[in-house]
Homo-oligomer: A and B are copies of this chain.
Amino acid sequence: MATLKDIAKHANVSACTVSRYLNDDIVIKKETEERILHAIKELGYVRNVVAKSLKRKETFNIAVILPKINNLYYSEITSGISQTLGKHHYNLYIYEVDNLNLQEEAILQLMRENMVAGIIFIGLFSDTSFSESIQNVIDWNIPVVYANRCMPFEGFPLLYPDLVQASKLGTEYLQASGKNKLAFVHKKVPDQLLALFLEGYRQATNSDEKPLLLEISDELELVKDCIPTLVENSIEGVFVLNELSAVYLTKALVQANIRIPEDMAVLSLGNSLMSQISTPELTCVDLQNRELGIKSAEMILSQIRKEEFEPVTVLAPCIVVRKSA
């Protein structure tokens, strides 16, 4: 493999000139340029990014740490990240926590060993230890973005969808369709998060009454257990705070001969392919996952370049109307 030095020798210039020509765009004598270009082609030179990274003490690798990649929710965000990083010639590492069998600490160690240029966390570390972990990363001067989490600002860059707004939009939409008795169906979720949805409901209804709150598991078989409760409470519209659960609930409702949306409207939170292929197709609040990914990557790049950036970015959700509400 030809190196910079080989090129330099072949073109009768110093390695330094070649390096500068290739990296910075400096002025160079036309004739020198031609000799360099010719040498590069002739020797089939490919630059060595590893050597460059060592010298510069920085890589062009950004790590995305997420629970699992074979989940549309995460892979859509990841795709957004990939899109932005590609545009700026950064490489993308994926670390699947559920798959990796590593402790937080070990993963972060990996980041340092590999000198990643930045880390994007997606939907992770819900326990208290996590903000400590992130603080570590920051102390090591590794740019971080924490995406997909709704939480108070604790000193590190944050990026999440506006869940209050999502809840408000959803509630308003259901009510505008004449559905006034609402239930919020959700998986086990921190109270803090639930509070955001309730706040959105409050803003939409302008009253102190609350929607029926129903906690469910994500198993298809178990979802149907909540249908009697919905019926007994003469619920007219359900806002399911998880897309897969929405799909399952919809299936169960259809099976129970409950007409959607006439007897009961179903609104899903999240707009992946799942909502589209559900029967009936789900009306949903789109949390803008790809956009979230794009913005996350931009935020990391800003940090790397030491540009100014807004440390908390909140994404505005929007309604996508289909058939279920």
Contact = CB atoms under 8 A, between A and B. Distances in A.
Interface of A: 46-51, 53-54, 59, 61, 68-72, 75-76, 78-79, 82-83, 86-87, 91-96, 99-102, 109-110, 112-115, 220, 244, 247-248, 251, 254, 273-274, 276-279, 290
Contacts of A72: 70, 72
A67 to B, nearest CB: 11
Contacts of A279: 251, 254, 278-279
7 contacts: A47-B113, A50-B50, A70-B76, A72-B72, A92-B94, A92-B95, A244-B273
* Chain A, interface SS category: helix
Given A69-B78, A70-B79, A244 B277 contact: yes
A289 to B, nearest CB: 8
Contacts of A95: 82, 86, 91-92
A75 B86 contact: no
A181 to B, nearest CB: 26
A148 B278 CA distance: 27
Contacts of A76: 70
Q: Which 4 A-B pairs have the closest CB atoms?
A: A70-B79, A70-B75, A279-B279, A86-B100
A280 B61 CA distance: 44
B59 A69 contact: no
Contact of A278 (B69, B86, B244, B277): B277
A91 B116 CA distance: 11
B115 A96 contact: no
Contacts of A48: 54, 113, 115
Contact of A277 (B53, B83, B101, B274): B274
A274 B254 CA distance: 18
Contacts of A91: 93, 95, 110, 114
